[in-house]
Each structure stands twice: as C-alpha cells, then as structure tokens.
Amino acid sequence: MARAIWTGAINFGLVSIPVGLYSATEDHTIGFHQFQRGTADRIRYQRVNARTGKEVDYADIVKGRDIGGGDFVIVEPDELEAIAPGRSRSIDITSFVCLDEIDPVYFQKTYWIAPGGEQYARPYALLVEAMARTNRAGIATFVMRGKEYLAAIRADEGVLALETLLFADEVRNPADALDALPERGPARGKELEMATALIESMSQAWHPEDYHDTYTERVEQLIDAKRRGHDIVTEVEPREPTETSDLLAVLQRSVDSARSGGRQTDDLSDASKTDLADMARDLDITGRSSMNRDELEKAVASAVPTTDR
C-alpha cells in the first residue's frame, strides 16, 4: 500500500476534511550508475566543505541566500517553518473555477487525494459529488517540502485529484523566451486547406493506453544487446526540414497517407528514407533500423497487402 507523501486537511468555507496526498504518476526512466571510463570504479558524490575539504553530515547543513558582495543570510529549517505555522498542514480552497479555463501551461503534477480516515469519508464524498455536479475545480494553496504551491482540485471518477499549478510569474512570455516568432498573417489558401485536412484525417479519440515509451524500450534493447555482446542497431536519422517550396506537395502526400492508414505505397520510389522508416515502424517491420533506403522500400512494399497498394 502506498504511503501518503503529505497529510493535512482540505479547507473550504468552514468545512475541514483531513486528507492524504498520493502521487498519481510514476517515472519509468531507466536509472544508471556512473563509472570512471575504462574501470569498474563507481563515481560517488559527497557533501564536502569547500574550505576544509571534509565531508559534512546532512544534519549540519543549513540554507544560505546570496545577498551579493560575498555575503549570505543563513536560514535554519525551523525558521522557515515558523514563518508560516500550520500552512504546511492545510490545503485552503479560496475559490472555484471552470477547469477548462486554466491554460495547460500552468499544470505541473497530479496527485490523488484520499480521506484521512473512514470517519471522514462522508464529507469527502460530498465534496467529490458537488464538484462533479458543478464541473468546477477548487483553487487552493498549500505548503509541501518547503515550497508553497498553487493547486487545482477536481473530481475524477469518484476521487479528488490535485493538480499543482505554476504561478503566473513562473510562466514565460513566448515573445521573451523564443528567439524567433512566426509572422502573424493570413496563411496561403491551398496550404491552409491541406493542413486543415491533414489534421482532420489524423484526428481520433484520446486513448492513453495506445501510447508507450518507445525510447525506454530502445534503451532496454541497447543494454540487452551490449550484455549479450551483439551489435548495436541505430535508428534512422531525423527527417530533413520541409522546404517551403515543397510544402504543398508534402502536405498532399501526408493527407493521402493518413487517409489510407499510413499504407500509401504508390509512390514509394519518391519517398525519402525517413518517410520509409516511418512506414516501416508503423508496419512493425523487424530489422528496419539497420536497412538502407532501398531495403526499406522493398520491406514496406512487401509488408503492405496488395489491396492497399
């Protein structure tokens, strides 16, 4: 059974419901140790005093804020706790908003919220049902691990979910963050029609189970191949950028391919190696990563049923 990473209470109006916070997601990234090249010696990091060179116990480490001129203000953990007593034990809902009004750029991480005990199940269920019926999300603030979070609390199939949000000043303006912004002007008629048609032809219902982490799979295959002493198979290079002069033709081929389920083989002789590799991946052709362009073309043509050509 998972353990709560935070415990406290949800407060809205005069109602207070003890709850626990549980991570709703998990990271499947493959972890690596570090070694010195050519040896079996592990690399380890230590907390070392920069002046003495000696390792420092974690309990003896405090925080310091650089105020310039080589001076620092030292802050103890209990001093941080003292400036906001109780804040790290309550999720205070201040308002309710329509969840659709929140731009996705503000979302950070999802947590499940559970009642703090059986005796609190009734008010918890009441809040879930009321939020589901009104289609509203509660906007709240709370402190966890020394940081204050803005959060949106919503009903999710019988339970409460908490989405941590970025504050407004943590979201960059694209005009300041990007080196170049596209010119805002009317798109060319035919190109816009084809781009719209491509989006429509590729549209489908959202089924998260249809997607999986292919990069992690390739890392696992790399590790297994090296363990067995096999050759390492590399993936094809990224596709070349589409030239403006070719845009309309590429859009047309994309629409044709999407409408035929990605099995358009009439013009394989004109397809690039990257396009053929994409087709091979969609057709789950084994050994595609080590094939040259001609081999990919033959493999794709052989894998597609005659009725699809």
Q: Which amino acid, 26?
A: E
Tokens of 83: 């400036």
CA–CA distance, 277 with 291 (Å, rounded to integer): 9
**Percent share of the chain, pLDDT over 90:** 38
pLDDT number for residue 168: 93
What one-character DSSP code corresponds to residue 235? P
Digit-coded pLDDT (tens) for 204-251: 788 888 877 777 887 888 888 888 887 766 665 666 777 766 777 777
231 pairs with which residues across the strands?
A: none
CA–CA distance, 286 with 283 (Å, rounded to integer): 9
CA–CA distance, 166 with 189 (Å, rounded to integer): 38
pLDDT number for residue 140: 93
91 pairs with which residues across the strands?
A: 10
Tokens of 145: 């691990």
How large is the average pLDDT for residues 110-135?
92
pLDDT number for residue 309: 45
CA–CA distance, 307 with 292 (Å, rounded to integer): 26
Reference 153, options 176, 169, 130, 174; nearest CA is 130
Say if residues 124 and 160 touch (Cβ distance below 8 Å).
Answer: yes
CA–CA distance, 249 with 191 (Å, rounded to integer): 9
Measured in whole angstroms, how far is the alpha carbon of residue 179 from the centre of its chain? 24
| Higher-confidence position of 258 and 298 | 298
Among the four given CATH numbers 3.65.10.10, 2.40.290.10, 3.90.1150.10, 3.30.70.260, the one describing domain 6-26+82-170: 2.40.290.10
Beta strands in 135-219 (DSSP E): 137-144, 147-156, 159-165
**Cα–Cα distances in angstroms (integers) from residue 136 to residues 21, 130, 198, in the given order:** 20, 9, 34
Tokens of 274: 């990257």
3-state secondary structure of 258: helix
**Percent share of the chain, pLDDT over 70:** 86
**Cα–Cα distances in angstroms (integers) from residue 130 to residues 94, 111, 135, 193, in the given order:** 16, 20, 8, 44
Digit-coded pLDDT (tens) for 240-296: 777 766 777 777 777 777 776 655 455 576 677 777 877 787 777 888 777 888 888
Per-domain residue ranges of the chain: 6-26+82-170, 189-308
**Cα–Cα distances in angstroms (integers) from residue 37 to residues 34, 42, 297, in the given order:** 9, 10, 40
The pLDDT of residue 307 is above 50: no
pLDDT number for residue 220: 83
